[in-house]
Amino acid sequence: MRLPFSDDSFVLVVSSLVLIFVPDGALAAAEIARVAKLGGVVATATRDLRGGVITARMPYDTSVALGAKLWRAAGLRDVREGQITIRMDFANFADYWEPAIQGPLLPGLLHGLSPDWHERVRSSCGESFPGW
């Protein structure tokens, strides 16, 4: 929220997978706009977890709508929203499961389950993917 660069320093400013963790989005947007040269490009991205997290759909959609306003308020023009789909391939089930249970979603889901139930969830997920 306080970038160590002079005004108008960059023709391209990129922020990936960071802004959802910043406590003051307006300040972060203003800082990003400040270091971008006039006519430069600002690109930001975050994960879209909506596909499997239905309860998050409204907050995510609302965040996107408010985010566009936030960038305009920071002085950026020609603000456009888009979606990029990235295919994720895994070597095996463990390659998928181990990072997932350390991430932001599964620990909360699995917390409090008995070890037996946790194993049933893991095993059933693994069986759902042929070849794993």
As a residue count, the chain comes to 132
pLDDT tens digit sequence for 65-109: 777 888 888 999 998 887 777 777 888 888 888 888 887 777 777
Query: Among positive and negative, which fits the CA dihedral 25, 27, 29, 35?
Result: negative
Instruction: Break the chain down into helix, strand, coil percent, rounded to 5.
Output: 50, 15, 40
Domain ranges of the chain: 10-73, 93-127
Please state at what angle helix 93-100 crosses helix 115-127, rounded to 10 degrees.
Answer: 140
SS3 of 36, please? Answer: strand
Helix or strand run (H / E) with residue 15: strand 10-16
**pTM of the full predicted structure?**
0.54
pLDDT tens digit sequence for 1-56: 899 999 999 999 999 878 777 888 889 999 999 999 999 999 988 776 555 555 55
